[in-house]
Amino acid sequence: MTDQTSSTSVTASRTRARGASTGFLGLGRRDAALFGVVIVMVVFAPIILNPFPVNSAMAQFNAGFPQLMQQFLIFGIFAIGFNILFGLTGYLSFGHAAFLGIGSYAGVWMFKLLGMNVLYAVTAATAIAGIFAVLIGYISLRRSGIYFSILTLAFAQMCYALALSVLSPITNGETMLQVTHNDPRVLGSAVGPDGGLPVPTLFGLEMRSTYTMDAGPWSFDFNLGYYFCGVFMILAFYLAIRIFRSPFGMMLRAVKSNQQRMRYTGLNPRPYTLAAFVISGMFAGFAGGLLVSMDPIAGTERMLWTRSGEVVLMTILGGTGTLIGPVLGAGFIKYLESILSKINSGILHSWFGFLPDGLEDFIVAIIYPFVGKGWHLTLGILFMLVVIFLPGGLVEGGTRIGRLFRRRKATDTSDTPAE
């Protein structure tokens, strides 16, 4: 009787656990809540990112214009894919910019050969980047650690050099690849509606179409291209959650934990790492396709090692191995790049013009090296602070703040006298 009762309770607990782990779209409670937060952020970003009135001095810090919001989403997808490789397996790739560039070139060629429908571009970019990821990953994953990182960096630099020289008839070299009136474009027109070059569209709807809503001193831009990227950002995030929580994701964590023990159990880690590398490369290629869907031009600068280092910084700043961390890191870096780089000495003098002349010049002289062309210095300092004090990235910082509030709430509750 006791055994029967215990077995029944075990079965019931398993059933409850199974029910608790699946909810909205098959996600657990916490994952579903996080997914809901991402959806809300994507939908209402044009409003959230424009908190200051247009004519105020603080409008400089608004980030709700379409081009920057598109960058947030596209590089968020890029970082999500990179995190599947680096965050789960621990394999640090310094060559993921190659897939971003390959996807960009593939997307522009689809515009030139087929038509300006963005679905052609993103599909071809993802597929071709996946093919290259299989080839590069198969060779690079024969090594691990720093040797793997060096191999991926070498492949990326090879792709960059080939795009500049040998493959210049395909990539157009330094002058960049873009659409022209002479392109065959068998499924579309060679001329845009206004008589100029055709622009990327989605079944006739232009990606640059923007509706501006004025609400008193505030102004909000709702761009079709942004929401097109937003749909894929939401899908990419959902796919990342399912990978993280799947048995495949558990195997990738086992690879990161101890490959030697995996081999002792009879499991070969190579297929899992190659699969993660290919998925990550396809995410990067897809991001490249989205870039040219917003602006149909591709250049070799997207293959530079600095671009690969940028996605590494995004992932580490946000939180390696976390779900939302790479997205936060991508938004953080792109915000600094766009906002701080525009602050010049004239803007600084306008901010501190109320001070005496000597003090104004002194403060401007101190701040100026950290903005404008020196925004990388600010990024470097912030990166150092995050690595030193928040090894888990921005996500760890949010977790600590949440714990602090919960601790205060618990203290207040315990101090309240019981009836």
Which segment of 133-147, 194-208, 222-236 scores lowest on mean pLDDT? 194-208
Q: What's residue 418's pLDDT?
A: 46
Task: Please tell me the distance from the alpha carbon of residue 5 to that of residue 168, in angstroms, as a whole number.
Answer: 74
Residue 23 has pLDDT above 80, yes or no: no
Using DSSP bridges, classify how beta strands 201-202 and 210-215 pair: parallel, antiparallel or unpaired.
Answer: unpaired
- Per residue in 311-353, pLDDT (tens digit) is 999 999 999 999 999 999 999 999 988 988 888 888 888 888 8
* Residue scoring higher pLDDT (18 or 281): 281
Residue 15 has pLDDT above 90, yes or no: no
303, 95 contact by CB (below 8 A): no
Q: What's residue 417's pLDDT?
A: 54
- Per residue in 152-188, pLDDT (tens digit) is 999 999 999 999 999 999 999 888 999 988 888 888 7
Q: What's residue 392's pLDDT?
A: 87
Q: Which residue type does 155 have?
A: F
Share of the chain above pLDDT 90, in %: 59
- Over residues 274-278, mean pLDDT: 96
DSSP track, 11-48: HHHHHHHHHHH--GGG--HHHHHHHHHHHHHHHHHHHH
Rounded to two decimals, the pTM is: 0.90
Angle subtended at Cα 267 by Cα 261 and Cα 271, rounded to the nearest 5 degrees? 120
- Per residue in 52-94, pLDDT (tens digit) is 998 887 888 899 899 999 999 999 999 999 999 999 999 999 9
Residue 404 has pLDDT above 60, yes or no: yes
- Average model confidence (pLDDT) for the chain? 88
